[in-house]
Structures are given as C-alpha cells and as structure tokens.
Amino acid sequence: MNVSIASSRAEGALVEITDVRKSYFSNRVETPVLHGINLHMQRGDFMAVMGQSGSGKSTLMNILGCLDTPTSGTYRLAGVDVEKQSRAELATLRNRTIGFVFQSFNLLKRMTILDNVALPLIYAGVSRKASRDRAQTQLDKVGLGELANRQPNQLSGGQQQRVAIARALVADPPLILADEPTGNLDTRTSNDIMALLNELNRERGQSIILVTHEPDIAAHAKRLVRLKDGLVLYDGPATEGLRQLKTDDSIATIAEAAL
Ligand SMILES: Nc1ncnc2c1ncn2[C@@H]1O[C@H](COP(=O)(O)OP(=O)(O)OP(=O)(O)O)[C@@H](O)[C@H]1O
Ligand SMILES: [Mg+2]
C-alpha cells in the first residue's frame, strides 16, 4: 500500500483533477453533470466553490472526498492515484487526508459529542483515552468544551455544525472539504465558523475547499472557482472572481427586467 502519513504530508499538489467527467445513470439514461473539470490545488490554499443550484458543486465535492468516482478523467490526492486504490486503501487515504464538513454527515445520535468528535481517531487506531483527550481539546477550540457530555439533539443547529467541524479537524487532516457549512446558520454563527476555518488555514496551513452560495462567505477564501453547467467558468483570485460575479448578476437582473 503506497499510502502513508509521510506521503500525504509531502510537498507538492494536494489535489490534481484532470478532465474529470461525471454522469449519473438511471434506467440506462445518462445524465452528464461534470463535463471536463481541471483543478489543481497546492497545500495551504483556501478555495471557495460557487455556482447555481445543479451546477455540479456537490458532485465535485463527492469526487474530491473519494465518496464517488468520476466517469472518466483522473484524480490524484496527495500524490496518490485515487482510481488505482482498493476500497480499503481508499478508506485509509480518506481518513488520513480529509476532514468532511458535509451536512449529510450526521452526528451519531446516541453518543456524546465528545465521542462523536473522538471517532475519527478511534478509526485511525488511536487509544480511547488519547482520542478523548484530543477530542476534548478540539471541542474547547470550537467553544463547546463545556458541553462535551451532551448528545447532539441537546444542542442547537449551529452548535451541532461546530461539533461536525471539530470532528472534521480532530485528526488534523491536510484537506478540509466543506459543502455549505454555514447554509442553515445565522450570520453570527456563520462568522464564527469562518473565523475558525481562516485560522486553521493561516496558522496550521490546512487546505480548504468550501462550497457556498454566499459571496460574503466566499470572500474569506483566497481563490474562487465558479462552476456553470458542469464546467469551470472562473478560477482565480477570490476578490476578482467576486467582482465578476457581481457584474454577471447585475447583467442577469437587467436582462430579466427587460423580458
Ligand atoms: N445521485 C444522483 N443521481 C442522478 N442525478 C443526480 C444525482 N446527484 C445529483 N444529480 C444531478 O446532478 C446535477 C448536479 O447536482 P449537484 O448536487 O452536484 O448540484 P449542486 O451544484 O451541488 O447544487 P446545490 O447548490 O443545489 O447543492 C443536478 O442536476 C442533480 O439533479
Ligand atoms: Mg450541493
């Protein structure tokens, strides 16, 4: 197995996606969703992904997270060819490399939030005691240290989201994938979460790919990728990309008003 902490920490591109296409099939009918995506990301980058509903953002995130495979094209994660890995190797690679903050990644209801956060470490073979200690430290960092013994349903939506973030970060993965992490949260909680992600990126050099519909959230990123109908419409500095987005939106509004 060519996966090791050393290789996943090595210098070089963390994400290399080349001509990735993805279709969904149902009843033998093909629905193409991604039409040839190229994306390279170095360690330490902070990328926001934007695009209309249905443009393929979550489909791309599932591929980036090795939760789904492309129909064609290649994906190298931390220097490893994802499509050449066995299921077990892929699970190891994913555990060591990626922290997920996806809304569909629910917390386990019957466990305390401390044990929820400790889970990735237990999976990685860390002892129960050490896992719990690290989970407690991570919960302290997201401001929930005092609630460690509660179960998820005893927390607010924003607090649950912070638990999910603590769980994503506890094993210190080089890549954080966040699909609309502030989607259902109020402005203040969203800002807290963005401040936390910013700190991780700046101080720990963790790479972040974050899907959002909100320009204010995307403005925290260094780089912006805009998807349109399964293709990359823009890939560059976030400031310039958001300026273009604003122009495109006002042109669309004028066009709609003219109809
Ligand atoms: N499992 C699936 N089977 C069939 N089609 C799917 C499946 N998942 C997504 N799609 C379709 O693929 C397209 C892209 O979906 P995707 O979830 O990637 O969009 P998105 O950009 O994340 O949208 P949103 O902003 O609404 O979350 C949509 O047209 C969707 O209906
Ligand atoms: Mg989505």
Determine what percent of the chain is predicted with pLDDT higher than 70: 94
Alpha-carbon span 49 to 44, nearest angstrom: 16
- Distance from the CA of 34 to the center of ligand 1, in angstroms? 10
Q: What percent of the chain has pLDDT over 90?
A: 65
Distance 59 CA to ligand 1 centre (A): 6
pLDDT band at 21; cut points 50, 70, 90: very high
Ligand nearest to the CA of 55: 1
How far is the centre of ligand 2, averaged over its atoms, from the C-alpha of 62 (Å)? 10
Closest C-alpha residue for ligand 1 atom 2: 24
User: For position 149, what pLDDT does the model report?
Assistant: 97
Pick 142 or 72 by higher pLDDT: 72
pLDDT of amino acid 2: 45
> At residue 218, what is the residue type?
A
Q: What is the pLDDT of residues 152-164, one digit of tens each?
A: 999 988 888 889 9
Nearest-angstrom CA–CA distance, 198 and 194? 6
User: In a mutational test of the pocket of ligand 1, which residue from 49, 55, 184, 214 has the highest number of ligand atoms less than 8 Å from its CB?
Assistant: 55
Q: What is the CATH number of the domain that holds 38?
A: 3.40.50.300
Mean pLDDT for the chain?
A: 89
Verify whether ligand 1 is closer than 6 Å to residue 58 (CB atom): yes
Any atom of ligand 1 within 6 Å of the Cβ of 230? no
User: pTM of the prediction?
Assistant: 0.89
164 CA to middle of ligand 2, Å?
18
How many Å from the N-terminal Cα to the C-terminal Cα in the chain? 59
Residue 120 has pLDDT above 80, yes or no: yes
The count of structural domains within the chain is 1
Mean pLDDT (whole number) for 221-234: 96
Which ligand 1 atom is the nearest neighbour of the CA of 51? 21
Tell me which residue range forms the domain holding 75: 5-258
Q: Copy the structure tokens of residue 257.
A: 């008003």
Order of strands, sheet of 72-77, starting from the edge strand that comes earlier in the sequence:
29-42, 13-26, 72-77, 80-81
Are the C-beta atoms of residues 113 and 163 closer than 8 Å to each other? yes
Closest approach atom of ligand 1 to CA 54: 19
State the pLDDT confidence band at 6, using cuts at 50, 70 and 90: very low
Atom of ligand 1 nearest to the CA of 55: 21
